[in-house]
């Protein structure tokens, strides 16, 4: 199986020994507390599950600046996006060496991790802007990732952590949420060697389904791992529970048995385009995938990135930075000429009128009106789940 990123073995930070867990939980109740942002809490979950291997905790300012500018830490570890714990109020943790990190996303704000504080540093406005522009490619506050990052505090609290739980993901998405450790174990149990990962924050329509098939066939893969984001999204995105139901229905009806592994991970979407695409590749290598499908406008939002920027960034990173390989895909759509889904670059004789195209706005309007999109766009079983969702939203 493919090795984890930058290590010979995964380094999940979740405390699984019962006695150690009980000891740390008791200790945490008497420690000074820091209420995390949603993004930092999701980072703790990713550290706990091994997706951020080989990191041991939250980055300090020097590493954050180095990662933003050069895509590697001060010590030379390749990493595409800073992993930060930002706050605006450090009054309760100044001068202490150990703190409890509390979860903002669960009632009662329980402790999600215990942290050894190595540094509390102020990020200057110029440094915050530099990180923002290098990671997101813009300072435009209409970019949802930029808005979230800029709204977080300018105090950077760094150091190694021990994770006590995996937040709401374990309970709200039982059976779907999996750690990198669990997915590696599943891949090994299936005997898969070549594994294609597909990242999604949306329900999968027919073009996505066929793209997974194309990648599996062309790479002679043993299976595909459909890996959905379960964390916070921007307003208007389909809720994770609905996406989960859509994807599982599609897999159950239209894929051969034991050819697809469906799971999800607990991370708040950044919408950082190329940089987030590389981070997605790190996640997938750590969970055991050998290939990641990177399609048109991967992890993008609006018009902030070029359609293939997320593929081109992989051509610029230093050789040997990661072991996972990229399956670079073009936009896929139903061809009226060929009566099947094709990648557009592979159909040079086609004009736009030769494809079945529906905008996201049009699809939402149809679903909201109880009208199923055409079979060339969406499976009827998937469309029904989405229509039920929009109907329920409308009351």
Q: List active site positions.
A: 201-202
Strands of the sheet with 332-335, listed across from one edge: 340-343, 332-335, 355-356
Residue 271 Cα distances to 120, 299, 369, angstroms:
27, 5, 29
- Could you tell me the two tokens for 1? 């199986």
- Cis amide leading into 54 (omega within 30): yes
Which of 259, 174, 187, 154 minimizes the C-alpha distance to 216?
A: 259
Sign of torsion, CA 204 209 215 216? positive
Sequence-ordered list of residues with C-beta below 8 angstroms from that of 327, at least 6 positions apart, any chain: 196, 215, 218, 219, 291, 292, 293, 294
**Could you tell me where the DSSP H helices lie in 71-179?**
125-136, 144-151, 169-172
CB 43 within 8 A of CB 84: yes
Residue 13: Cβ-neighbour burial (10 angstroms; 0-12, 13-18, 19+): buried
- 250 contact partners, CB below 8 Å, separation of at least 6: 204, 209, 379, 381, 382
Q: Strand 195-200 relative to strand 291-294: parallel, antiparallel, unpaired?
A: parallel
């Amino acid at each position: 199986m493919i090795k984890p990123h930058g290590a010979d073995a995964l380094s999940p930070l979740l405390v699984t020994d019962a006695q150690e867990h009980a000891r740390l939980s008791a200790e945490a109740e008497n420690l000074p507390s820091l209420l995390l942002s949603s993004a930092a809490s999701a980072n703790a979950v990713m550290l706990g599950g091994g997706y951020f291997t080989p990191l041991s905790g939250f980055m300090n300012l020097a590493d954050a600046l180095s990662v933003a500018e050069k895509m590697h830490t001060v010590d030379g570890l390749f990493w595409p996006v800073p992993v930060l714990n930002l706050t605006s109020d450090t009054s309760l943790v100044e001068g202490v060496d150990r703190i409890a990190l509390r979860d903002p996303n669960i009632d009662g704000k329980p402790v999600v991790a215990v942290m050894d504080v190595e540094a509390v540093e102020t990020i200057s406005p110029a440094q915050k802007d530099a990180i923002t522009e290098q990671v997101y490619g813009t300072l435009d506050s209409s970019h949802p990732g930029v808005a979230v990052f800029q709204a977080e505090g300018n105090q950077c609290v760094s150091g190694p952590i021990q994770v006590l739980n995996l937040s709401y993901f374990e309970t709200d998405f039982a059976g779907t949420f999996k750690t990198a450790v669990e997915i590696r174990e599943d891949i090994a149990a299936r005997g898969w060697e070549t594994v294609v990962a597909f990242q999604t924050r949306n329900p999968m329509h027919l073009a996505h389904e066929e793209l997974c098939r194309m990648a599996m066939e062309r790479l002679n893969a043993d299976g595909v791992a459909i890996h959905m984001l379960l964390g916070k999204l921007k307003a208007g995105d389909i809720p994770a529970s609905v996406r989960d139901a859509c994807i599982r229905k599609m897999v159950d009806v239209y894929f051969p048995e034991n050819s697809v592994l469906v799971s999800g991970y607990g991370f708040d979407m950044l919408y950082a385009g190329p940089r987030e695409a590389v981070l997605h590749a790190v996640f997938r290598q750590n969970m055991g995938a050998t290939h990641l499908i990177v399609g048109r406008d991967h992890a993008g939002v609006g018009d902030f990135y070029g359609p293939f920027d997320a593929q081109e960034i992989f051509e610029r990173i230093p050789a040997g930075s990661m072991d996972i390989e990229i399956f670079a895909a073009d936009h896929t759509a139903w061809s009226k000429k060929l009566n099947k889904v094709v990648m557009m670059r592979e159909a040079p004789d086609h004009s736009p009128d030769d494809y079945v195209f529906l905008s996201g706005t049009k699809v939402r309007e149809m679903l909201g009106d109880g009208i199923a999109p055409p079979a060339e766009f969406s499976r009827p079983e998937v469309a029904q789940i989405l229509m039920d969702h929009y109907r329920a939203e409308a009351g």
